[in-house]
Amino acid sequence: MLGQILEILEKKKAVFLTGGGGVGKSYLTRQIIEHYEKNNKAVVALGSTGISAVNIGGITIHSFFSFGISKDLNELSQLDKKQIQKLQELNEIIKKIDLLIIDEISMVSADLFNMINYRLNRGFNGALLLVGDFYQLAPVQKGVNGLDDNAKFTQNLFNTSIYAFSSHSWEMINPQNVLLLHSKRTNDLEFYALLNELRIGILSQKCLEFLRSCLISPTNQAPKDALRLFGVNKKADAVNKARLNEIKARLYSFEASVEILDKKLSEQAILKWIQSITLPQILELKVGAEVIFCANKRGSFYNGERGAIVEINDEIIKVAKKNGVIVEVSKSVIELNEYANNGDEIISIQRAKFIQYPLRLAYAITIHKSQGMSLDEFVCDIDDIFARGQLYVALSRATNPKGLFLHFSGRNLAWHLQKSIACDSDVSAFYQNAKFLKES
């Protein structure tokens, strides 16, 4: 698949790379970036949110394109009158980009995508890679149910869609759609098929029966040390605090170090960036505590792997993984960068650094922070899962159906599940009607 995508991109065309959770979108994206960088090509990676920007090692769409708080082209044109010099610098960068990547494209609205295309029309001559899954994460809009009253009225009146694929710019760019089909997270094909039903909003009888079998009951108890996934921070924090307090050992507290290299950064911008980082600002640990790795280190650990603390000292934390291997964990550095024009090339300038151990307590975590993780055993509390796509995001973390447990305190499981997996008709129509180059 890599070769086919590179062939399309090298013709300076656009690609939309999609597929469910665990099919390898992020891995393939990293391979594409490595290929371009190895050939001394200029790559700019953007995220639709702070978290996706951190995950891809880039910056946010709004920051790069200088969108400010503009919501559409009309507002942007007014803002642009006040930032002429900044736009001149941006245009010089855009002309030099060989590959532009936009991650989590599903969270980009139609208006925002039109704004992106408006910027790219000023000299962009590179390849465009759009990555994401419209079934999982929708554009963030104001108000209840994703839209404010005016937006809902406008959408109903003109039968318009909020998604990037419905924009005039998507039609103009006309990306080659590439669909990844094979799970890299689980080898259980039947389990993967059931998960994919949930992804597209189908709750079959077979799927319902499987999920019922995962419910915790007197005859189906989850292991005590199984990680718990929650829809809200409050519950996850409470479980972690209680379980850590049970351990009779010295408490170590590690506060993240934040280094500000660009003195022009506002406090608000710094705070927003820190909040987008999935590593804890204050990490409290004890020897014996269960932890989960929040990063990948080739040959040592992967994002979502678990272990227990066996030693803590000033510079290194030793963790015994579930397979018995003890690894030394040092602090990770997450950078806030910006792209700048430097003669004939684009350079990345460090603006700030966040330094912390890539660990979290492994008793509980939110679904939001579990994105990208592969989990072999966990309990998903589905009581507070209501957002569209959230249930699928949680369950698709599983590498093995035998390690998946559900906690539900309500009465009507089928009704709750159906409400949680409801799929937007615009998304369904897009995936049904679009032509895809499919993974063989």
pLDDT in tens, 261-296: 999 888 988 998 898 888 999 999 999 999 999 988
Query: Could you tell me the residue ranges of all domains in the chain?
Result: 1-184, 189-421
* Residues 124-154 pLDDT 10s: 999 999 999 999 878 866 443 444 444 433 4
Q: Are 196 and 21 in contact (CB under 8 A)?
A: no
In the structure encoding, which two tokens stand for residue 304, read together?
């979502």
> To the nearest whole percent, how much of the chain has pLDDT over 70?
95
Sheet holding 59-60, edge to edge: 59-60, 43-47, 99-103, 127-131, 14-18, 176-179, 436-438
Q: Are 101 and 55 in contact (CB under 8 A)?
A: no
Global pTM? Answer: 0.86
* Residues 214-258 pLDDT 10s: 999 888 899 888 999 999 889 999 999 999 999 999 999 999 999
Q: Are 265 and 352 in contact (CB under 8 A)?
A: yes
Looking at residue 141, its pLDDT comes to 61
Looking at residue 22, its pLDDT comes to 86
Q: How far apart are CA 392 and CA 76, in angstroms?
A: 35
CATH class of 1-184: alpha beta
Quote the distance between the C-alpha of residue 174 and its chain's center: 24
196-205, 304-313, 370-379: least confident range? 370-379
Half-sphere exposure of 182 (CA within 13 A, CB side): 7
Q: What is the mean pLDDT of residues 416-423?
A: 88
Q: How far apart are CA 435 and CA 356, in angstroms?
A: 44
Looking at the predicted structure, is the pLDDT value of residue 387 above 90? no
Q: How far apart are CA 16 and CA 435, in angstroms?
A: 11
Q: Which of these, 106, 116, 119, lies nearest to 163 by C-alpha position?
A: 106
Q: How far apart are CA 39 and CA 355, in angstroms?
A: 30
Q: Helix 84-96 and helix 110-120: axis angle, to 10°?
A: 80
Q: Which phi and psi (to 5°) does residue 322 adopt?
A: -60, -25
Looking at residue 390, its pLDDT comes to 85
Query: What's the one-letter identity of residue 285?
Result: L
Task: Give me the residues paired with residue 386 across strands.
Answer: none
In the structure encoding, which two tokens stand for residue 333, read together?
């550095």
Q: Are 186 and 192 in contact (CB under 8 A)?
A: yes
Report strand pairing: 14-18 vs 127-131. parallel
